[in-house]
Amino acid sequence: MNIAIIYSSITGNTKIIAETIKESLQKENIVYFGNPTEDLPEADIYIIGSWTDKGNPTDEIINVLKKIKSKKIAYFGTAGFGGSEEYFKKLFERVKINIDSSNKILGYFYCQGKMPMQVKTRYEKMLEENPEDSRLKLSIENFDRALSHPNDEDINNVKNWVDTKILNN
């Protein structure tokens, strides 16, 4: 199988997942591994990943997804929020809009990814101004939960995902 792994990562979380996927596919022919490029590399299976930017993949990744026709596609993402399958499902619904119906979708994988410390500082400032804001308190709790991700469990989960959704297809 010729496989291209194309991903977008700013702070490294999605890169960790991408590298784990690559390691899990050692016996396959990885024709491309890296950031989106102008031309789409030729492959049979595209494994496409992105961090979540205001509920969506990056524009570069959306462009890549739109270019792929009549191939197999698997998608992976990291997100600061959630940690719930329901949230990840909603995120993937938005990714799916950009995938042509001629493709076969093998599956998707998400895990949480830590966010930059400035995000917490901003929440804390807002909380000083509105000390009773329970949504802000939840956001800070979520920020702290995300700090350890991707963790060992996420790494194991993505390895299993590769085995079941990609290697068995």
Binding site for ligand FMN (CB under 6 A): 9-15, 51-55, 78-82, 113-115
Nearer to ligand FMN, 84 or 164 (CB): 84
**Least Cβ distance, residue 98 to ligand FMN (angstroms):** 16
Q: Name the residue nearer to ligand FMN (CB basis): 10 or 167.
A: 10
Name the residue nearer to ligand FMN (CB basis): 56 or 63. Answer: 56
CB of 152 to ligand FMN, least distance (A): 16
Please report how close the Cβ of residue 15 comes to ligand FMN at its closest, in angstroms.
Answer: 6
Count of alpha carbons within 13 Å of 1, Cβ hemisphere only?
Answer: 18
- Containing H/E element for 75? strand 72-79
CB of 140 to ligand FMN, least distance (A): 15
133 secondary structure, DSSP code: -
Residue with tokens 């509105």: 130
Identify which of residues 72 and 114 has a Cβ nearer to ligand FMN in the complex.
114
Query: Nearest distance from residue 67's CB to ligand FMN, in Å?
Result: 21
Q: What is the dihedral of CA 141, 147, 153, 157, to 10 degrees?
A: 90
Sheet strands side by side (includes 29-34):
29-34, 2-8, 45-51, 72-79, 104-112
Non-local CB neighbours of 77 within 8 Å, separated by 6+ positions: 14, 49, 50, 51, 52, 57, 88, 91, 92, 95, 108, 109, 110
Output 36 or 113, the one with its CB closest to ligand FMN: 113
Q: Give me the amino acid identity at 31.
A: V
The residue of the chain with the least Cβ separation from ligand FMN equals 113
